[in-house]
Structure 1
Amino acid sequence: MVTCYLKYVLDPYQIGAFEHYAKLWIPLVEKFGGQHHGYFLPSEGANNIALAMFTFASLAEYERYRQDSMKDADCIAAFKYAEDKKFILSYERSFFRPVFGDQV
């Protein structure tokens, strides 16, 4: 398993637009076989940082999702929405191996 962790730096005046974008991506990740763990929007502290995490069975499955999403009409529309609205100033992506309580 591999979990993708995304940290976004946002335009703090467009959090609502980012929330709409986030809601678009949750079912899209799941459509391609991932398990989305949600987006986390600013609440207290920094007003321009958001996080997201989702898991795929393997890095190869994640890479397949990335390739397939570039050809999917709904994904392309989500990418275009972010590009047009310009609410994401930057982001960083990291990968982790999850540990769950049921593992020995």
Structure 2
Amino acid sequence: MISCTVRYEIDPDKLPEFEIYAKAWLHLVVKLGGIHHGYHMPHEGPNDIAYCHFSFASLADYEAYRAKMWDDPECLRAYEHAKATKCIRRYDRSFTKPMFNGATVDELGL
């Protein structure tokens, strides 16, 4: 599994517009075969930084998602919304391999 974390620099005066964008992508990532782990909106601290995290079974599946989204009318509408409202100033992506299952210290031999 591979997870993508997107760090957004948003316009804090356009948080409602960004929330519309985020809600659309919560649906769209799942529609196109991924698992969305949610958006993390500004609360305490910087008021212009948000994150989202989503996963695909493999990097190849993520790349297939990226190709499909450019042909999907809903994805294009979501991108157009962000562009028209200018709610996103910039963003960057990073990829990690998630760990979801823990173990007791006894199981780990600690």
TM-score (norm 2): 0.91
Of all paired residues, the percent bearing the same amino acid is 46
Structure 1: segments with no counterpart, 5+ residues: none
Partner of 1:86: 86
Larger Cα Rg: Structure 1 or Structure 2? Answer: 2
SS in 2 for 1:50: strand
Partner of 1:53: 53
The amino acid of 2:55's aligned partner reads: T
Query: Number of matched residues?
Result: 104
Q: Give the aligned CA root-mean-square deviation in angstroms.
A: 1.3
CA offset at residue 102 of structure 1? 5.5
In the TM superposition, what whole-angstrom CA distance separates every residue of 1:66-99 from its partner, at most 9, and x where no partner exists? 1000000100100100110111001110000001
Partner of 1:13: 13
CA distance in 2, matches of 1:83, 1:70: 15
CA distance in 2, matches of 1:57, 1:45: 33
TM-score (norm 1): 0.96
Structure 2: segments with no counterpart, 5+ residues: none
